[in-house]
Amino acid sequence: MRFKFPLMAIGLEVAMIILFGLFVQYETDQNVSQQPNSTADTSIDLYPLFQDVHVMVFAGFGFLMTFLRKYGFSSVGINLLIASLGLQWGTIVQGILHSLGEKFHIGIKNMINADFSTVTVLISFGAVLGKTSPMQLLIMTILEIAVFAVNEYLVLKIFGASDTGASMTIHAFGAYFGLAVAGILYRSSLRKGHLNEESVYHSDLFAMIGTLFLWIFWPSFNSAIAEAGNKQYRAIVNTYFSLAACVVIAYAFSSLLESHGKLNMVHVQNATLAGGVAIGTCADMEISPYFAMIVGSIAGMVSVLGFKFLTPLFTTKLRIHDTCGVHNLHGLPGVIGGLASIVAIALETAETSALAMQAAALASSIGTALVGGVITGLVLKTPIWGQPADQDCYDDSVYWEVPMRTEHNHHFGEHGSHNQLEPEA
Amino acid sequence: MRFKFPLMAIGLEVAMIILFGLFVQYETDQNVSQQPNSTADTSIDLYPLFQDVHVMVFAGFGFLMTFLRKYGFSSVGINLLIASLGLQWGTIVQGILHSLGEKFHIGIKNMINADFSTVTVLISFGAVLGKTSPMQLLIMTILEIAVFAVNEYLVLKIFGASDTGASMTIHAFGAYFGLAVAGILYRSSLRKGHLNEESVYHSDLFAMIGTLFLWIFWPSFNSAIAEAGNKQYRAIVNTYFSLAACVVIAYAFSSLLESHGKLNMVHVQNATLAGGVAIGTCADMEISPYFAMIVGSIAGMVSVLGFKFLTPLFTTKLRIHDTCGVHNLHGLPGVIGGLASIVAIALETAETSALAMQAAALASSIGTALVGGVITGLVLKTPIWGQPADQDCYDDSVYWEVPMRTEHNHHFGEHGSHNQLEPEA
Amino acid sequence: MRFKFPLMAIGLEVAMIILFGLFVQYETDQNVSQQPNSTADTSIDLYPLFQDVHVMVFAGFGFLMTFLRKYGFSSVGINLLIASLGLQWGTIVQGILHSLGEKFHIGIKNMINADFSTVTVLISFGAVLGKTSPMQLLIMTILEIAVFAVNEYLVLKIFGASDTGASMTIHAFGAYFGLAVAGILYRSSLRKGHLNEESVYHSDLFAMIGTLFLWIFWPSFNSAIAEAGNKQYRAIVNTYFSLAACVVIAYAFSSLLESHGKLNMVHVQNATLAGGVAIGTCADMEISPYFAMIVGSIAGMVSVLGFKFLTPLFTTKLRIHDTCGVHNLHGLPGVIGGLASIVAIALETAETSALAMQAAALASSIGTALVGGVITGLVLKTPIWGQPADQDCYDDSVYWEVPMRTEHNHHFGEHGSHNQLEPEA
């Protein structure tokens, strides 16, 4: 880390500033009047929805990953770093793709899309959490967002598929990209688990901050870029009820599968959100609230089953170790989202072309993610990026100054007992 | 818990999906055009207010109850479960009551009201926190929301009373319902307190997350369903200043009543919110900001006095043990809210009928709550719902997988000392 | 604390209620129709922006200061107290100044400005954190907000300077006011640090709650009172990108300056926000996004350098001990904000008067703050306000009931080992 990390970060930021100088402009009244058909992009109507998404990206994903007992600084801190870099890079890549290389103007909607683009990286971060260096994650940010933007362009502009809440283009994509990277970076020595790969009581509560803010604002995620009016309204209503049904079913299956019928915090932290992911693609369609609840229920059930049976199998058989279980929260529910959209469209229309395009979008998202993830994994495998040693995985102290004093000392101090670890006295 | 809880949860969710299939539809353009007088319900104007309320319900109430040292998973986790079930059930019950059994359309306002309906259960949950099983709480959710919806219908439609911020119909109702349940479920053996019924330093800080998000968004709670325009604006302004005054007075009385003039976190976590409860009923009336501040001040004072003197008395004399002190945060301030509305209306008008209707609303809310609570308590007393044994109260590990590793180990591990509790090495 | 604190708090609240009774009225339809030019203040268009700011003030600043291992109750609790008093007092002082002593009407914009006025005190609170009593802080609240309102009036109305995001009038002002108070209250015995002036692992995570909510909502802070339309839109966009660039550069310099290239949580918690402060003054100007990113980058760098080199120097040479390092988060970035506005205006116009007014505004903000801070410090130095003894600094237990039981006991209890500290058994 000594100089490589800071120089890489400074270099990337300088590059971003130069690219913004070359390509990015404000929307102005003149721009708008020159293009009378376009809606005025300087409106801040979408700003409350943007802020909800912004909370999800920076507080939601950040705290969701703090469940590990010694990896909270990295979870919430590196989440902030890569999302901050990612939103700049996402603005550039998405903007240039849509403007075909011309200068482009940005508004609140670009900010929402920029935040969205970072979510793919944050999901993949979950798969490799604890086993990668900040430098590797900066590189992954740059590569993944570029691949994401291309796939998104393909899905929405070329295929003309529908994916309002981005179940396929963000969630499935981010999960399979991350799994591919995790597969390439697999460490056999960690196969049987790691001393630090556990939660403690309070780290599980910190993670619930992330879970709850993600859960609460998910209707905004799925509706933020929906067409204003009925579609946006339906995206909100469908997501609200899908998530509620998902929670009840996820709790039921968590209890059903654990010994003595106890609830498991891993399921509560993650599977409760699967309903938000799975309803994404068809959130704005006229599917009826009860259909949204069925989709949410299936997602909650599948997600818990995935944590219970698939994740251990992935680690031992496929040699893919998925730290946060993003396959169960984003991967499988993302696929369910794609399939649900096919069902929803099939119920409405006889045209098979629309169905085919949804299927193509799903296949493209997973395929691009796997290829991009393997290539990214190979780049990250080069042993020059300050990777943590096996025994240092899941431990903040490799990359962070960590307080020496402990909780235990703290309170013992209060009771006046002598404490040998205290540096002054 | 082995099978009863999951089967009950799955059964309830299936019932919800069926009821939604039978009764709940989107608002559509056609619906609106057929009823030219109705405002278009597909508008998302209320969505930011809804999201504020949503944060209060899921993060606010959830974290507020994490103050117990070993009951954080249950507080934040069961809060999520019962609110998720409750919002579906609340949508159904409220909708059917208002549509008189016909199919009905839902919009953002229904979502606000659905969230509101769950608040009654979350309040009652506070009274029985740590002494009930997830199954008991699912049952309470179903019963309480049904009774709530009937009382609300009575108060607003039949009496025509005013209760914008729901001091009476939600806060007083939820508190007295919970107290009645707690009275029926009273455990003599816990009379002298319980080893686990305490906070630790960090659990008190987690609880402050709940307090602050409740406090911050309370103006949205009191104004979300107020009439747009001046009434909504006044509801915001009045609540803002009532809460601010309440904080200053609550701190003053906390210090005044504690030994050595110290501040008490229980008061800070709860009594600071009493001003939001108490101003609820008359929040949208033209009462002047200074009047709102007086109401808030009185509520803050009464709430602290309640924690100091009433709660212990309730436990020992009335045999009602109120874990979170909901009587002081929701019960008494809810009553103050009803009385304040009577004063406010009396200052404006000579008509006694309006005053009588407010008094009837308050009496109905408390009366229905007590009767409903007693009946619910008797149902919950049946010894088939997996109740915790006395010695297991206030302990997550009865219903949750709890991490074995401890904070203490965690940090000792960092300093390299040998740790006998570590499962691997 | 025994009686002085509660009586002072009650006295202040009574005074607020009287002042509100004398001066503060609602906006009404009649007011608006009498002044046809004024926009209707009863609109709640600004309410979502207000709520974002409200989260920053009460959750953001509150949790940001919880990084100390034994001072979390005070950080988040006294933050709530002084902001609640401050927003009432700020409403009064700002209103009377602008109405020239007449009765005035309040709307959402007044609430935003009231919240803003408290931020100055919360910043200064950071400089004296752990070394002051609640009584001293109530006094500081009253004095500082009065001085702030006068300086703000001077800057905006007399000089006609521009300071949308209040880099100068709030951030630089609050920081230098706090430093002046800290200088007067300097305790030589704490020069070499204090046993309690440290973080523990979880206190650093609690602080990140504050950091993230401040970071996320800062675009709302800088745009809340900007002119609706293009200026408000630009304030949002500029702040968004300034903050993102600031994060990347702050991480780079944190790693560059720490031993072994590790990241430092103090920098992550604070310096990442400097970009929001520094872009404040020129946030609504047409400066181009890349310019905003340059300002953010410089602020991030300067802030980290300040923590590393200036803060220790201040403590030892200037005899000013700045607990939270507010000089690095608010002071220096506030000055950068003033200078950036001069550059931005110079690039647009040849008129030197506008430049001179910006410079005058910066000088006035710092000068007024220093004078006001010294006077306030002298008032607070009077040994009648219940100041903590040197050895009791940074310790909640002086002013709060603190739980006896410890994290350590908690978990040991779970493993069934005997625990000598448990009061009951």
- C41 pLDDT band, cuts 50/70/90, is low
Can you read off the two tokens belonging to residue C111? Answer: 């609430």
pLDDT tens column, C279-303: 999 999 999 999 999 999 999 999 9
- What DSSP string describes C234-254? HHHHHHHHHHHHHHHHHHHHH
Q: Is pLDDT of B422 > 80?
A: no
Task: Region of B321 please: left (phi>0), alpha (psi -120 to 50) or beta.
Answer: beta
Tell me the per-residue pLDDT of C214-263, one tens digit each, with 9 for 90 and over: 999 999 999 999 999 999 999 999 999 999 999 999 999 999 999 899 99
What 3 state SS string does C250-316 have? HHHHHHHHCHHHCECHHHHHHHHHHHHHHCCCCCCCCCCHHHHHHHHHHHHHHHHHHHHHHHHHHHH
CA C84 to chain centre: 14
A245 CA: distance to closest CA in chain B (Å) = 7
What is the per-residue pLDDT for A411?
Answer: 40
Closest approach of B379 to chain C, Cα-based (Å): 32
Residues of B with CB below 8 A from A244's CB? 84-85, 87-88
pTM, two decimal places: 0.95
Candidates C201, C12, C344, C209; CA nearest to A202 is: C201
**Per-residue pLDDT at A31:** 52
Average pLDDT over residues B311-329: 95
Q: Which residues pair with A106 in a beta bridge?
A: A26
The sign one gets for the Cα dihedral C209, C211, C212, C216 is: positive
Helices (H), A169-273: 173-184, 201-223, 230-257, 265-270
CA distance B30 to B32: 5
The stretch B81-110 carries a mean pLDDT of: 95
Q: Are A401 and C212 within 8 A, CB to CB?
A: no
Tell me: pLDDT of C166 over 50. yes
Among C387, C374, C384, C396, smallest CA distance to C178 is for: C374
Non-local CB neighbours of C371 within 8 Å, separated by 6+ positions: C180
What confidence score (pLDDT) does residue A237 get? 97
Q: How far is CA C264 from CA A90, A206, B246, C198, in A?
A: 27, 20, 39, 13
pLDDT averaged over chain B? 91
List the chains bordering chain A where 3 or more Cβ pairs fall under 8 Å.
B, C
Q: Tell me the two tokens of residue B172.
A: 């007083």
Q: Output the average pLDDT for chain C.
A: 91
Question: For residue A104, what are the β-bridge partners?
Answer: A24
* Neighboring chain C residues of A107 at a CB cutoff of 8 Å: 233, 237
Residue B5 is nearest to which of A209, A255, A409, comparing CB atoms? A255
Render pLDDT for A17-41 as a digit per residue (tens, 0 to 9).
Answer: 999 999 999 886 555 445 544 444 6
Nearest CA in chain C to A84: C244
The pLDDT, as a whole number, for residue C51 is 98
Assigned token pair, C362:
């910066």
Confidence class for position C411, pLDDT limits 50, 70, 90: very low
Mean pLDDT across C43-69: 96
Q: What is the pLDDT of residue A82?
A: 98
Cβ–Cβ below 8 Å for C29 and B230: yes
Instruction: Give pLDDT, residue B407.
Output: 52
Question: Does B411 score more than 60 pLDDT?
Answer: no
d(CA B109, CA B149): 15
Distance from C-alpha of A208 to C-alpha of B81, rounded to nearest angstrom: 13
Nearest-angstrom CA–CA distance, B90 and B324? 24
- Of all residues in chain A, the one with the smallest CA distance to B138 is A248
pLDDT at A351: 78
pLDDT tens-digit readout, C264-280: 999 999 999 999 999 99
pLDDT of residue A181: 98
Q: What was the pLDDT predicted at A193? A: 83
Q: Encoding tokens for residue A251? A: 């709790």
Within a 10 A sphere around the Cβ of A228, how many other Cβ atoms? 12
Task: Show the low-confidence residues of chain A (pLDDT under 70).
Answer: 1, 28-41, 405-425
Which pLDDT belongs to residue A29? 57
Q: Does the pLDDT value for residue B38 go beyond 50?
A: no
CB contact under 8 A, B199 and C403: yes
3-class DSSP assignment, residue A25 = strand
User: Nearest C-alpha of chain A: how many angstroms from C289?
Assistant: 7
Q: Which two tokens stand for residue C24?
A: 């503060």
Q: Which of B27, B72, B411 lies nearest to residue A408, judging by beta carbons? A: B411
DSSP β-bridge partners for residue C106: C26
| Residues linked to residue A400 through DSSP beta bridges, in sequence order | C263
The pair of structure tokens assigned to C47 is 């309410």
In three state form, how does the secondary structure of chain B look?
Answer: CCCHHHHHHHHHHHHHHHHHHHHEEECCHHHHHHCCCCCCCCCCCCHHHHHHHHHHHHHHHHHHHHHCCCCHHHHHHHHHHHHHHHHHHHHHHHHHHHHCCCCEEECHHHHHHHHHHHHHHHHHHHHHCCCCCHHHHHHHHHHHHHHHHHHHHHHHHHCCCCCCCCHHHHHHHHHHHHHHHHHHCCCHHHCCCCCCCCCCHHHHHHHHHHHHHHHHHHHHHHHCCCCCCHHHHHHHHHHHHHHHHHHHHHHHHHHHHCHHHCECHHHHHHHHHHHHHHCCCCCCCCCCHHHHHHHHHHHHHHHHHHHHHHHHHHHHHHCCCCCCCHHHHHHHHHHHHHHHHHHHHHHHCCCHHHHHHHHHHHHHHHHHHHHHHHHHHHHHHCCCCCCCCHHHCCCHHHCECCCCCCHHHHHHHHCCCCCCCCCCC
Q: Over the stretch C333-352, which tens digit does the pLDDT of each residue have?
A: 999 999 999 999 998 877 78
